[in-house]
């Protein structure tokens, strides 16, 4: 779990760990980090202090106790002055006479946020204006022996944005830019600046518009040549043979002959060796090679996510001039869009297997991304893996993530839908902006293209649907512009998303798929997405924004559901970290500050009233919001999986938070699992039994991600809430491989007999031989219509293999049992679960502190719905 003391003690270590891997120092190459001894100062003010690099001004001010915790209570509103100030960062570094003997010397800035003038020894060497770009400057002629002064002047992104707005012919739509909260009225400036959109606010995030050195600064020296990058192309990969090509880009002083060796570091086997004459103008070398019977990279649930380490050495005679190691997995991963009898498929095919994508949308883990630690990344990917996910969508309003994030996705078989950083806004299309976007795209495509986890590059989030240029739909944006202005804005849209970005993907990958906008009903720009489309991907927000009932998840299906969701509040333990008892009312100022959806509270209450009794108690309301969210999204996941192979993906919004807030997330800012994450874990299991109430029948399905079919049996038991068997039957079935199998429609009246639908549940088990493979419970009326009994729960502690196990049982049906230890960080392997009469459930316990039954707090639906 995170806390701010933890941040202060781990920032420096974490950012070093998370920095990009660099070549090892050799006689020909040396790399030095310039990430220490930095200071910051307010240009037109009195604030100054020691700076942490990588970092941003907000975290430096916090670290030096010049502001209070930005996330606590309503502190956000008092810190909006920070983004309107200019800030200067400075440090000194020493160069020896030996350093100056190197032929080449460059300063490499992995990331500057955002408008930055860089000075070395008083000379301006760089004007940066894009948070997402890498910048490199030759300093050979300016560097001197002894102390060198490096200064970076960060212009206020707000003042720069206002300047650009004032010179623009018109403003642009940017609905999530919380300009009012930033003291700017209706002046939305985010679209003019190539910077993380969510910094300006979102309907789940605060407004903290940062400045700073957000990625490492490196000083690099080399003589004859260096390796700029290595790309392991994969023209053809099968189980029998991988045909590969190493493309090595060099930077060199003069024409020279070199030998290039490609080595498999797993066994130190030389895969290829080639002599080349390279020049300053023709500095790329391509070396084809093959691997027989390769170990393939598979997504989570289908096999091992095997990774190869390829080392490239550049030799001149017996002298090694440069080396670089690239990790990559061998796989064939394609987005298949084929015409069929109902429309066009949208499915990811991995190594010849059409994979149902199970996962979530992902946003940055913090509003201040430089304090996201290695442990944070490991936790979020472990949370995805442990919930049986195989895909995350890196959403376009955040950042191109840290290398370590993609490394973890590679290692754990998590496919990545990668948005470019554009979301819910229109953007200028002038020459300078297009050139900046092109370089941004090149930097990040080249940086990430070796990761086998990258499944698709997507141009933007929701812009095609919002602008809806070719139809009468959309979000009402285009209607506010003249015909001429519409044409200009549309041209910019086409230039960015149908020209610049796909061209970069085409030129700098080996055939990676590109999708212009999510959602979209086809590749061409006139294919605007809607709820009736039979091609492309869909963002279904009929539930939530449209106030559709949860049951409509079964009505509005998609070829690929890339967004949908429902809000909940964070757990009470999380709320206590940012609020005090006087704030414990969802309508209080503090709780409203941590609820950025204007309709959020009313929407949760209204949906809750449809299915449950709405509790008045604050803590119980938080609990019920999570139970409600889990119920809705579980229904959605099951509907999407039942629709296989018509639908081949479900990514709910969203897996994580960037601060403690009421949101659509399944794990909160402190990585605590909400009820939804436990529900998703069950709904994403490789084998799932699902049902749907249709008229007077219960339709039964078995869904399998397994690549082989099998014969099994469904054991169906109708039980009353005290455990009495009302009816039972079994069905012999054949479970299809990698598909959804409709089993049978069960007549409800025949199923329950004389019992009331309000007093029974249907328990269904899938059995193969003597082994129960999976189970699910189905209810025939809404929770508030059930006559739930009072229950007595029994708990005990046992030890297995040195680990504590909690055993819990009940005398009658207990619904949505939530286990918690107040003020203690404890994780239970299952939570928010139903327990049948006489059933004993065992839960593994992990976390900090010593677990005690005396401290165990149990909440369940019967208690809250009295």
Q: Which helix (H) or strand (E) holds 603?
A: helix 600-611
Write down the pTM of the prediction. Answer: 0.95
591-605 per-position pLDDT tens digit: 999 999 999 999 999
CA distances (Å), origin 773, targets 620, 685, 708, 770: 34, 10, 15, 9
* Structure-block tokens of residue 660: 């403690």
Q: Which residue has the tokens 């080449």?
A: 104
Taking the C-alpha atoms of residue 780 and residue 787, their distance in angstroms, rounded to an integer, is 12
SS3 state at 799? strand
Count other Cβ atoms within 10 Å, centred on residue 165. 17
Which of 809-848 are b and which e, b meaning 16 or more Cβ less than 10 Å from the residue's Cβ?
A: bbebbbbbbbbbbeeeebebebbbbbbbbeeebebebeee
Rounded mean pLDDT of 220-235? 96
133-142 per-position pLDDT tens digit: 999 999 999 9
Rounded mean pLDDT of 38-42? 98
What class, spelled out in words, does domain 793-864 have in CATH? mainly beta
Q: What is the rounded average pLDDT for all residues in the chain?
A: 95
Ranges 5-14, 58-67, 801-810: which has the least confidence: 5-14
Is the pLDDT reported for residue 15 higher than 50?
no
The angle, 0 to 180 degrees and rounded to 10, between the axes of the packed helices 4-18 and 403-412 is 80
Q: Please report the sign of the dihedral spanned by the C-alpha atoms of residue 274, residue 275, residue 277, residue 280.
A: positive
Is the pLDDT reported for residue 1 higher than 90?
no
What number does CATH give the domain 353-567+646-683? 3.20.20.80
Is the pLDDT reported for residue 801 higher than 80?
yes
User: What is the reported pLDDT for 652?
Assistant: 98
Instruction: Report whether CATH 2.60.40.10 matches the domain 224-328.
Output: yes
Is the pLDDT reported for residue 18 higher than 50?
no
Rounded mean pLDDT of 824-828? 92
Rounded mean pLDDT of 623-642? 98
User: What is the reported pLDDT for 28?
Assistant: 76
DSSP string over 131-187: TT--EEEE-TTT--SEEEEEEEEE--HHHHHHHHHHHSSS---BTT--TTTTT-TT-
CA distances (Å), origin 128, targets 116, 359, 420, 431, 464: 5, 36, 20, 16, 29
CATH architecture under which domain 4-219 falls: Sandwich (2.60)
Is the pLDDT reported for residue 149 higher than 50?
yes
SS3 state at 291? strand
The fraction of the chain above a pLDDT of 70, given in percent, is 97
The fraction of the chain above a pLDDT of 90, given in percent, is 94
| Confidence bin at 852 (pLDDT 50/70/90) | confident
DSSP state of 528: -
Nearest-5° Cα angle at 618, 613 to 623: 65
749-779 per-position pLDDT tens digit: 999 999 999 999 999 999 999 899 999 999 9
User: What is the reported pLDDT for 26?
Assistant: 54
Is the pLDDT reported for residue 25 higher than 70?
no
382-394 per-position pLDDT tens digit: 999 999 999 999 9
User: What is the reported pLDDT for 4?
Assistant: 35
* Structure-block tokens of residue 364: 């940055």
- Same CATH topology for 224-328 and 793-864: the answer is yes
* Structure-block tokens of residue 286: 């391509």
By CB neighbour count within 10 A (0-12 exposed, 13-18 middle, 19+ buried), where does 185 fall? exposed
User: What is the reported pLDDT for 851?
Assistant: 84
Taking the C-alpha atoms of residue 307 and residue 290, their distance in angstroms, rounded to an integer, is 16
Taking the C-alpha atoms of residue 687 and residue 679, their distance in angstroms, rounded to an integer, is 14
User: What is the reported pLDDT for 10?
Assistant: 39
Q: Is 224 within 8 Å of 316 (Cβ atoms)?
A: yes
DSSP state of 787: -
Rounded mean pLDDT of 335-356? 97
Q: Where are the domains of the chain?
A: 4-219, 224-328, 353-567+646-683, 687-785, 793-864
What class, spelled out in words, does domain 687-785 have in CATH? mainly beta
List the alpha helices (DSSP H) in 663-799.
675-683, 748-752
Q: Is 647 within 8 Å of 561 (Cβ atoms)?
A: yes
Rounded mean pLDDT of 367-394? 98
44-100 per-position pLDDT tens digit: 999 999 999 999 999 999 999 999 999 999 999 999 999 999 999 999 999 999 999
User: What is the reported pLDDT for 766?
Assistant: 98
Rounded mean pLDDT of 153-171? 98
| Confidence bin at 11 (pLDDT 50/70/90) | very low
Taking the C-alpha atoms of residue 447 and residue 461, their distance in angstroms, rounded to an integer, is 21
Is the pLDDT reported for residue 441 higher than 50?
yes
Is the pLDDT reported for residue 377 higher than 80?
yes
Check residues 214 and 280 and name the one with the higher pLDDT: 214
Q: Which residue has the tokens 């760089």?
A: 126
């Amino acid at each position: 779990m995170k806390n701010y003391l933890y941040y202060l003690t781990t920032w420096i270590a974490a950012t070093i760990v998370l920095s990009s891997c660099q070549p090892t120092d050799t006689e020909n190459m040396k790399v030095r980090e310039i990430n220490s001894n930095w200071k910051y100062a307010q240009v037109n003010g009195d604030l100054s202090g020691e700076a942490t690099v990588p970092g941003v001004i907000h975290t430096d001010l916090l670290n030096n106790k010049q502001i209070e915790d930005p996330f606590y209570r309503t502190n956000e509103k008092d810190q909006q002055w920070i983004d309107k100030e200019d800030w200067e960062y400075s440090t000194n570094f020493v160069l020896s006479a030996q350093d100056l003997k190197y032929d080449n010397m460059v300063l490499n800035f992995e990331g500057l946020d955002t408008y930055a003038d860089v000075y070395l020894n008083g000379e301006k060497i760089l004007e940066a204006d894009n948070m997402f770009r890498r910048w490199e400057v030759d300093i050979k002629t300016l560097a001197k022996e002894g102390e060198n002064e490096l200064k970076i002047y960060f212009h206020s992104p707000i003042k720069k944005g206002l300047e650009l707005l004032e010179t623009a012919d018109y403003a642009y739509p940017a609905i999530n830019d919380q300009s009012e909260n930033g003291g700017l009225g209706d002046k939305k400036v985010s679209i003019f600046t190539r910077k993380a959109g969510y910094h300006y606010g979102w309907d789940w995030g605060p407004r903290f518009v940062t400045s700073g050195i957000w990625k490492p600064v490196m000083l690099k020296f080399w003589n004859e040549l260096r390796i700029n990058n290595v790309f392991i192309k994969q023209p053809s990969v099968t189980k029998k043979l991988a045909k590969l090509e190493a493309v090595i880009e060099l930077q060199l002083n003069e024409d020279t002959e070199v030998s290039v060796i490609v080595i498999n570091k797993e066994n130190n086997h030389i895969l290829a060796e080639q002599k080349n004459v390279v020049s300053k103008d023709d500095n790329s070398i391509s070396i084809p090679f093959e691997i027989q019977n390769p170990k393939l990279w598979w997504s989570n649930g289908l096999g091992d996510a095997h990774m190869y380490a390829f080392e490239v050495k550049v030799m001149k005679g017996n002298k090694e001039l440069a080396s670089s190691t690239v990790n990559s997995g061998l796989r064939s991963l394609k987005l298949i869009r084929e015409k069929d009898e109902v429309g066009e498929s949208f499915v990811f095919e991995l190594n010849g297997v059409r994979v149902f994508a199970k996962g979530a949308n992902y946003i940055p883990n913090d509003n201040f991304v430089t304090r996201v630690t290695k442990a944070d990344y490991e936790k979020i990917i472990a949370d995805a893996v442990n919930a049986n996910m195989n895909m995350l969508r890196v959403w376009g309003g955040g950042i191109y993530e840290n290398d370590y994030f993609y490394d973890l996705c590679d290692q754990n078989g998590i496919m990545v839908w990668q948005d470019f950083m554009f979301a819910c806004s229109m953007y200028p299309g002038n020459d300078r902006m297009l050139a900046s976007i092109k370089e941004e795209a090149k930097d990040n495509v080249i940086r990430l293209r070796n990761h086998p986890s990258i499944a698709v590059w997507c141009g933007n989030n929701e812009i095609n649907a919002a602008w809806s240029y070719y139809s009468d739909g959309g979000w009402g944006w285009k209607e506010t512009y003249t015909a001429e202005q519409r044409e200009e804005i549309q041209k910019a849209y086409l230039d960015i998303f149908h020209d610049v970005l796909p061209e970069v993907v085409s030129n700098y990958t080996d055939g990676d798929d590109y999708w212009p906008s999510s959602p979209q009903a086809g590749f061409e720009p006139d294919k605007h997405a809607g709820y009736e489309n039979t091609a492309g991907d869909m963002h279904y927000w009929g539930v939530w924004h449209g106030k559709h009932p949860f049951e409509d998840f079964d009505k509005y299906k998609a070829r690929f559901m890339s967004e949908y969701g429902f809000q909940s509040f964070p757990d009470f333990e999380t709320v206590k970290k940012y609020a005090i008892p006087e704030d414990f009312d969802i309508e209080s100022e503090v709780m409203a500050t941590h609820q950025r959806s204007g309709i959020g509270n009313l929407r949760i209450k209204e949906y809750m009233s449809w299915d449950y009794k709405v509790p008045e108690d604050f803590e119980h309301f938080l609990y019920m919001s999570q139970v409600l969210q889990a119920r809705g999204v579980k229904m959605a996941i099951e509907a999407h999986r039942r629709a296989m192979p018509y639908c081949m993906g479900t990514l709910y919004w969203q897996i994580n938070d960037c601060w403690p807030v009421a949101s659509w997330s399944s794990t909160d800012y402190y990585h605590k699992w909400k009820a939804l994450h436990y529900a998703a874990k069950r709904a994403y299991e490789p084998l799932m039994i699902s049902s749907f109430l249709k008229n007077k029948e219960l339709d039964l399905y078995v869904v399998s991600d397994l690549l082989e079919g099998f014969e099994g049996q469904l054991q169906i038991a109708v039980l009353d809430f005290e455990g009495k068997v009302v009816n039972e039957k079994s069905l012999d079935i054949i479970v299809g491989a990698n598909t959804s199998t409709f089993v049978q429609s069960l007549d409800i009246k025949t199923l329950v007999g004389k019992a009331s639908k309000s007093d029974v549940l249907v328990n269904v088990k899938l059995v193969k031989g003597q082994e129960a493979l999976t189970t699910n419970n189905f209810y025939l009326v809404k929770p508030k219509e059930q006559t739930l009994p009072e229950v007595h729960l029994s708990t005990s502690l046992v030890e297995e293999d040195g680990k504590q196990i909690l055993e819990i049982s009940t005398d009658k049906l207990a619904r949505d049992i939530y286990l918690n230890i107040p003020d203690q960080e404890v994780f239970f392997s299952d939570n928010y679960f139903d327990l049948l009469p006489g059933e004993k459930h065992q839960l593994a316990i992990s976390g900090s502190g010593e677990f005690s039954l005396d401290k165990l707090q149990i909440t369940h639906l019967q208690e809250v719905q009295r």
